[in-house]
Structure 1
Amino acid sequence: MDSEPPFQEAYKSLLKEQENSIAVKLIDDEEVVEECEVPVIDISRLNGRNETEKEECKKEITRASVEWGFFQTVNHGIPQDVLQRMQREQVKLFRQPFEKKTGEGDKLLGLSVAGNSYRWGTPTATCLKQLSWTEAFHIPITDVFTSSAQPNRLSLTIKEFAATVSSLAHIIAEILAENLGLKSAFFTENCLPNTCYLRMNRYPPCPLPCKVFGLMPHTDSDFLTILYQDQVGGLQLVKDGRWVTVKPNPEALIINIGDLFQAWSNDVYKSVKHRVVTNGRVERFSVAYFFCPSYDTIIQSYREPRVYKKFSFREYREQVQVDVRTTGNKVGLPRFLL
């Protein structure tokens, strides 16, 4: 039984349309600068006794969040063997037959997940530029810690990974809030395990690299995202108006600012557009943790004059879904400008 999602069959008309047209490449080689290494921050300094080093580490985190919207952390506290195990188990998961992934995803995960956690492609795509050549398992964190299913090696590894990245997300969020002069229990009260989620991603080899995205350009609709990626590469982000390729670092986790933090900080921190490009020969794996509040949480800029009107996370998610359905693209924060 084949493990690959039926991209060729499901998107036959879009792919045929591409073959029959003299289309401009979606991804122009000339627009991508050389591979770059986004800021790398050793956050073990936060746990040391040297107050000067602690403060310098916090400054580096806030500076990167202002100037890049992205940074990498090393010595982050997640054992290398957990990350390696995560990747090995992920590969085994995606090697399962396609029919099992679509019909028995919770059994494969060793978790009791509400609904079908497996997704692939882009059901709403009406043209190739809206298609993401990827498959993924979308897992609410609450299901990771409250599952009644018989655990397996994958689910146990997911629990270890989720617990440590959740703690890291809270630490980073508090540092960024403190830089704004805000010391409150906002993240502790609103960003709970039952509001955050994990997504394991696989980007299969694509027959039309540079014409189909692995993940189309977007910003994240959360406060923070923490990503662990393999060494294949393919993640790109916008820096100073140009796309740059993020150089993989086997020891680092990538952290990026989401839309909610940009709105909450009144544009101090930047939620930067990013994408994943496809590869014609090699598959790519990653796992992402999304630090989100409850749907009823109100997002309000911390100072006046405010750039954005007040909105709930539920309103934001619903608007994003409407825009994707009607236009094929996420509009995001511009919908909420004052």
Structure 2
Amino acid sequence: MEVERIQALAAVGLDTLPAQFVRPSHEQPENSPAVEGVFVPVISLSQPHHALIREIHEACRDWGFFLATDHGIPLELTGQLQEAGREFFRLPQEEKEKYANDPSRKNFEGYGTKMTKNPDEKVEWVDYFFHFMHPSGKVRHEIWPRHPPSYREVTEEYNKEILKVTEVLLELISDGLGLEKNVLKASLGGDQMELEMKINLYPPCPQPQLALGVEPHTDMSVVTILVPNDVPGLQVWKDGNWFAADYLPNALFCHIGDQIEVLSNGKYKSVLHRSLVNKEKTRMSWAVFCAPPQEALIGPLPELINDQNPAKYSTKMYAEFRHRKLNKLPQ
């Protein structure tokens, strides 16, 4: 199946945006601007533990989102990861197509362009590369980019670092919920918890005020840990308004996902967010989704429900949750 790639479309030098990318009026960034002067939470992971727990709790409860600094991932490694991703997307189109995925056949790993349309038949302005990083039994190195040659080594090193950060975040979130620090990880498959890498490329767009890189959504993951390049575009929803999550050098953008909302019985909210695009510059992001194994049963944790606070979510296998989410079915 031949797919029109956004990067190739942008390279033609369009003056106007093709109709399938023009969002409904109420979704267009020019008609739904972000609130000015309010900043998303920024949390140093090196501060005293009691203060850290309080800030994590407040951010997860009020925003479902925060920027994490002092996280321990070497700046040099993040730079190498980003350069490897940029190099892949610089390859000739025919080279990139060798890695093409086919979501229609449930083959989601590889090089893709999101063709799953919403009810308005609108398409997002983004290409991507997606693959598993952990656990080793899920990793298919044969579909990872072979160019640049550094891709595998750098990504495997980054995986080790993200595993450490994920474990720390899950312990902090458990603490914030008043649980033993290992409860969330144990509920999510322990060492079989999955990490998925998605490199998003948002090329320059001729009319960015009319388009979206990614439409408003929540992540079905447990947490998403993302690093962007320096072109802004991520916005999060809170109290009926959009708020810009501006670039902060060497910060991790941390999203609370649907599974934390379910496990916490709604105490922490999965963050609704969207991605804007830029007229002059290419925006990129490297998102790592932490998810339970497909067979994991996910529901409100027993410690967080009682007669006064009954379960607000059903318990189901993550595979079923994922199927319902992807097909826009009620949970």
TM-score after normalising by structure 2 = 0.82
Matches within 5 A, 1:223-262: 223-262=222-261
Report the CA distance shift for 1:181/1:153 in structure 2 as closer, same or farther (over 3 A): same
In structure 2, relative to structure 1, the CA distance for the partners of 1:286 and 1:36 (3 Å cut) is farther
For 2:36 and 2:203, the matched residues in 1 are separated by 24
Structure 1 residues 180-210: Cα deviation after superposition (integer angstroms, max 9, x where no partner):
2332455156054662211111101112312
Q: CA deviation at 1:22?
A: 10
Cα 1:290–1:254 shift into 2, 3 Å: same
The structural deviation recorded for 1:139 is: 1.1
Amino acid in the other structure paired with 1:198:
M
* Contact 2:193–2:291, Cα closer than 8 Å, also in 1: no
In 2, are the aligned partners of 1:5 and 1:120 still within 8 Å (CA)?
A: no
**What's the offset of the Cα at 1:103?**
1.1
Moved over 6 A (4+): none
| Structure 1 position 218, deviation (Å) | 0.3
Which residue in 2 is equivalent to 1:172? 169
Distance 1:220 1:30 in 2: 21
Question: Are residue 80 (structure 1) and residue 75 (structure 2) matched?
Answer: yes
- Alignment of 1:136 onto 2:133: no
| Partner of residue 18, structure 2 | 15
Query: Which residue number corresponds to residue 187 of structure 1?
Result: 185
Quick one: distance in 1 between partners of 2:192 and 2:10? Answer: 33
How big is each residue's C-alpha offset from its partner over 1:251-295, in whole Å with a ceiling of 9 and x where there is no partner? 211101001101110111111110001112211011011110011
Which letter maps to 1:56? A
Letter in 2 for 1:4: Q
| 287, 307, 312: which one aligns with 1:307 | 312
Aligned amino acid, residue 94 of structure 1 = F
Task: Tell me, in whole angstroms, the C-alpha distance in 1 between the residues paired with 2:59 and 2:158.
Answer: 24
Amino acid at match of 1:75: D
Show the counterpart of 1:40: 42
1:156 partnered with 2:158: no
Q: What is the alpha-carbon root mean square deviation over aligned residues?
A: 3.0
Q: How does 1:262-281 map to 2 (within 5 A)?
A: 262-281=261-280
> 2:50 is aligned with what amino acid?
E
Show structure 1 runs of 5+ residues with no match: 46-52, 107-113, 324-330
Counterpart of 2:322 in structure 1 is 317
Identity of aligned residues (%): 27
Give the conservation status (yes or no) of the 8 Å contact 1:224–1:258. yes
Shift of 1:179: 2.8
Q: Does 1:102 align with 2:97?
A: yes
Residues paired across the two proteins, number: 305
- Give the deviation of 1:321 after TM superposition: 2.0
Q: Displacement of 1:166 after TM fit?
A: 1.7
Q: Cα offset for 1:94?
A: 0.6
> Cα gap change, 1:124/1:105 in structure 2, threshold over 3 Å: closer, same or farther?
closer
| CA-CA distance at 1:85 after TM superposition | 1.3
Query: Does the 8 Å CA contact 1:205/1:278 hold for their aligned counterparts?
Result: yes
- Measure the CA separation in 2 of the matches of 1:291 and 1:67: 21
8 Å Cα contact 1:3-1:94 kept in structure 2: no
| Native 8 Å contact 1:191 1:294 kept in 2 | no
Preserved contact between residue 144 and residue 159 of structure 1 (Cα < 8 Å):
no
- Give the CA deviation at 1:4: 2.8
